Amino acid sequence: MKFTIEKKLSGKLGRAGKIETPHGIINTPAFIVVGTKATVKAMTPEQVKDLGAQAVLANTYHLYLEPGEKIVKNGGGLHKFMNWSGPTFTDSGGFQAFSLGVAFGTTISKLSKPQSNSFDEREKKSESVRSEGMPPLAKITEDGVIFKSYRDGSEHFFSPEKSIEIQNSIGADIIFAFDECTSPTADKKYQKEAMDRTHRWATRSLARHRELQVESTKSKVGEKKSEQAIFGVVQGGRFEDLRKESAGVIGSMDFDGFGIGGSFDKEDIGTAVSWVNKELPEGKPRHLLGIGEPEDFFLAIENGCDTFDCVAPTRQARNGTLYTKQGKIHIDNAKYREYFAPIEADCMCYTCSHYTLAYIAYLARTKELLAHTLSSIHNLHFIVHLVEDIRQSILNETFDKFKNSFLEGYRKTEKN
């Protein structure tokens, strides 16, 4: 993997660049589309590519449970298995230590103090675990995390080494060191413990990754050498001193790039990532994990983040929430029953080019699966191209003007 900075944002940490991988170039800043189970829900890889996505991210924990990393490997690796020819990422499974652990059965997310509006309330309800009241499905130890499968209750163990071995088998271009994703409500004492453990796991993850690289060079003739890049993950919660300490420790290790974990206040995203990115090496890419709302991108990008992933665009689409330049709309609204125009007049996505909002609202009301596909195409197109436009504004030296113009329209009126 190679990272090149093409243009820096004057007076700030932001930059436009490119990440070169074995399966193509990612022009940054870039939104990485989430395909949790080697599929972007309700969409084909061709549709994902056609809307402009550069790369996809799959979930290590879910692919380990089903179909199993060996089947993915025997199927030709993630790219061939899911028929995606572009760059790919896999997370480490560390997020499941949080989602199946302290957050299980609650509405706690990686970000505290979410914005208060009707759409966030819908999302909080949709994200809550149906099994509320049941004991957690994950237990953290020094050696790793003990998971109980959400599918059948069987017990599984992820160590840093195991996570790296699974990711190596899956075969993504960029993988992540195993980390502990903490709750934003955790106190400083526990955040410190989890951060130190993440650092120890980072050392072990990196060591196993290097061992697998050496093993691949000794493999039998005809087998392809592993060309995976590995990113270390910075933690530390909402505490400035911990974030800086973690960035210093992880940044000093021989990682190819860096992930920045959540667990901080939503309105402080810009501040929190600037603490980290001022400490990390400038010449390596930085990925902000699990962030996908339009307002968040501007704060994160101007403070030095290069790539992002989040399930929000497709999840919100399936729940009937659509992005527009004038804020989000929800297709349950009665006025859209006879709205015989695109979701957004100047949108160039496949959905807006061929269908009216009235038709999509009808599909959603009658529980037709096509509603999920058409809504997901629009939302992903909106987010992918928003980040692409932010990149272009850096290159054109018009970032502040574009930021102010977009946010003024987006925040002006949110349709209910």
**Which residues form the catalytic set?**
91, 309
d(CA 270, CA 302): 8
DSSP code, position 181: P
CB 124 within 8 A of CB 93: no
Q: How are beta strands 24-28 and 15-21 bridged, if at all?
A: antiparallel
Q: What are phi and psi of 135, to 5 degrees?
A: -65, 155
Kind and range of the H or E run holding 264: strand 264-265
- Paired tokens of 132: 């509320």
What letter represents residue 105's amino acid? G
CB 90 within 8 A of CB 188: no
Axis crossing angle, helix 399-412 with helix 294-302, rounded to the nearest 10:
160
- CB neighbour list of residue 4: distance below 8 Å, 6 or more residues apart: 17, 18, 20
Apex 65 CA angle, 144 and 88, nearest 5: 85
Cβ neighbour number for residue 43 with a 10 Å cutoff: 22
Axis crossing angle, helix 370-396 with helix 357-365, rounded to the nearest 10:
130
d(CA 378, CA 205): 37
- Paired tokens of 256: 């190819």
| Alpha-carbon separation of residue 127 from 43, 52, 150, 289, 312 (angstroms) | 21, 27, 15, 17, 10
- Paired tokens of 359: 């038709």
Q: What are phi and psi of 242, to 5 degrees?
A: -70, -40
